[in-house]
């Protein structure tokens, strides 16, 4: 018993010395990442956002349009990665994506004439639409082909257009024309707050040549905070006090019982995240399907449009191809049970939770005009096989994703998508978009523990059921209390 008591006493002394030795560095780490961490909820709650949630809508009517094959032949377009109808400012247009990083081309449906250099014009129209500023003057439209501090990799979509409005608040929008999506929106205030967050939280001021030292130093400092919190927890368990200590020391210990676990959660998930994702990729992870042959358009869709779409409200039309090279018209149908978010709070929630914009798709053979019975699930399977190069037998499970979640979150800005769970040799979740043929995302199974850690332990997504505002408030209160009662009182008691 005496030996055990001696060992126990020695352990307590070592824990106390370790805790005090790390106090100054732990205080600095908690203050630095605590204060900067508070800026993120501010950005998501009060930062400027879109005023309109859904992309532009207009009734599709091809009755008086030229046949697509005539437009394509006149333009000399034999292959393309993606062809679809888009709602532009004054009319619906045919949009052609010949390659992922080339400006998209646009054609008048009635005359077949190309609208030269229209991609930035379309981007400006979309920016005005999403920000509900139809008559706002635009100062500049700039094409962005790589991520930066102003347009970080968290936005996923490239290339985009930065549409800068000619107004004092510095309002600008980043628009992705392939899916008519608003990738990001900012103004002077949001830019300043985001810059401070990046400087303090991710150390974006460090030059690219010093990426590895940046990651290692952040990991060490946040690791010190985790070690200090861990030693504090051990002291709470091993060192029992019959009488509460006076002043800051007493308050520090009381706060420890409540706040040490949240500090451990934040610091552990922070270290885990920076080690796994500390080296950001400046390229988009989206992969478009190979170009499809457009020379098999023989069915006169335009002359049969009225009959085909009778009692069938079509919200989108694109050209896709199955694995046999057969061209298909893909009709996007509305999802009537979902209303479009129409107020600021509903839009903010929908941005993070996701809203399925369309219902089931219908496919029509572009050569024969016959219905392609296999449908959207089969198309998704074929796209997954195309992008992965793996046989269908490697798929363990397939499901339709209609809202954002843990392994496919709001950063992807694309719904609905199909999710395929793959076993060996890929061991990953693959997400494909049948509307565009794009490989939207791929998540390796080995990366999923970190995704769960960052979502649950760092962003506290387990509180999501209470609403995003409640989640942000609870997190902010905990962080402030930790900085004051654990960091502040702890450093004060060390000097006593």
User: Which two tokens mark 32?
Assistant: 């630095």
In 154-291, which ranges are E strands? 160-165, 172-176, 181-186
Whole-number pLDDT of residue 352: 47
Q: What is the pLDDT of residues 68-111, one digit of tens each?
A: 999 999 999 999 999 999 999 989 999 999 988 899 999 999 99
Q: Which residue has the tokens 């706060």?
A: 255
The end-to-end CA distance of the chain, in Å, is 33
Q: What does the domain layout of the chain look like in residue ranges? A: 2-46+206-283+460-495, 68-197, 296-454
pLDDT of residue 100: 84
**Nearest to 127, CA basis, from 139, 115, 111:** 139
* pLDDT of res. 428: 93
Backbone angles phi, psi at 305, to 5 degrees: -60, -45
Least Cα distance to 39 among 271, 212, 194 occurs for 194
pLDDT at 164: 96
> Do the Cβ atoms of 447 and 439 come closer than 8 Å?
no
What's the distance, CA 231 to chain centroid? 36
333 contacts 314 by C-beta, under 8 angstroms = yes
Q: In the structure encoding, which two tokens stand for residue 314, read together?
A: 């079509």
Question: Average pLDDT of each block of 10 consecutive residues along the chain (496 residues)?
Answer: 51 65 77 89 86 85 88 91 92 92 94 95 96 91 90 88 94 94 92 91 86 89 85 70 58 73 90 81 74 86 83 84 90 64 52 56 87 90 94 92 80 86 93 90 90 90 84 89 71 58
Helices 468-481 & 344-353 angle (0-180, nearest 10) = 80
Distance CA 355, CA 342 (A): 12
The token pair at 477 is 């209160």
pLDDT, residue 340, reads: 58
Distance CA 387, CA 378 (A): 14
pTM comes to 0.87
CA distance 426 to 211: 29
Within a 13 Å sphere around the CA of 29, how many CA atoms are in the beta-carbon half?
25
pLDDT at 357: 57
């Amino acid at each position: 018993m005496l030996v055990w008591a001696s060992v126990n006493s020695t352990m307590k002394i070592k824990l106390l010395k370790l805790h005090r030795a790390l106090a100054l560095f732990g205080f600095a780490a908690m203050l630095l990442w605590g204060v900067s961490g508070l800026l993120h909820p501010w950005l998501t709650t009060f930062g400027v956002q879109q005023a309109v949630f859904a992309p532009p809508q207009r009734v599709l009517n091809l009755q008086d349009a030229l046949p697509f094959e005539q437009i394509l032949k006149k333009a000399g377009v034999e292959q393309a990665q993606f062809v679809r109808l888009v709602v532009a400012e004054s009319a619906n247009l045919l949009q052609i994506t010949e390659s992922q990083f080339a400006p998209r081309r646009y054609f008048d449906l009635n005359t077949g004439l190309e609208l030269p250099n229209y991609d930035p014009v379309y981007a400006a129209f979309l920016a005005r639409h999403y920000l509900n500023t139809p008559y706002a003057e635009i100062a500049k439209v700039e094409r962005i082909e790589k991520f930066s501090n102003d347009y970080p990799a968290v936005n996923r979509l490239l290339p985009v257009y930065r549409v800068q409005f000619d107004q004092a608040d510095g309002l600008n929008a980043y628009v992705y024309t392939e899916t008519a999506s608003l990738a990001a929106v900012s103004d002077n205030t949001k830019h300043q707050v985001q810059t401070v967050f990046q400087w303090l939280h991710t150390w974006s001021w460090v030059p690219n040549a010093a990426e590895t030292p940046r990651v290692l130093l952040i990991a060490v400092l946040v690791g010190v905070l985790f070690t200090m919190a861990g030693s504090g927890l051990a002291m709470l368990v091993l060192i029992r006090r019959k009488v509460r200590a006076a002043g800051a020391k007493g308050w520090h210990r009381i706060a420890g019982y409540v706040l040490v676990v949240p500090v451990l959660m934040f610091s552990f998930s922070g270290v885990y995240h920076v080690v796994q994702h500390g080296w950001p990729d400046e390229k988009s992870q989206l992969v478009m399907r190979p170009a499809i042959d457009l020379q098999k358009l023989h069915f006169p869709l335009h002359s049969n449009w009225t009959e085909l779409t009778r009692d069938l409200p079509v919200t989108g039309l694109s050209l896709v191809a199955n694995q046999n090279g057969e061209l298909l018209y893909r009709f996007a149908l509305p999802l009537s049970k979902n209303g479009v978010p129409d107020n600021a709070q509903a839009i903010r929630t929908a941005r993070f939770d996701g809203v399925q914009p369309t219902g089931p798709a219908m496919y029509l053979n572009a050569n024969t005009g016959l219905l392609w019975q296999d449908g959207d699930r089969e198309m998704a399977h074929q796209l997954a096989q195309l992008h992965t190069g793996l046989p269908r037998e490697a798929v363990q499970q397939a499901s339709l994703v209609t809202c954002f979640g843990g392994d496919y979150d709001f950063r992807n800005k694309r719904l609905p998508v199909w999710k395929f769970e793959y076993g060996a040799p890929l061991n990953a979740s693959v997400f494909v978009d049948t509307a565009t043929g794009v490989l939207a995302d791929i998540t390796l199974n080995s990366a999923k523990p970190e995704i769960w850690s960052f979502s649950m332990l760092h962003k506290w997504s387990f509180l999501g059921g209470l609403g995003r505002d409640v989640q942000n408030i609870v997190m902010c209160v905990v962080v402030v209390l930790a900085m004051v009662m654990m960091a502040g009182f702890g450093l004060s008691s060390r000097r006593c």
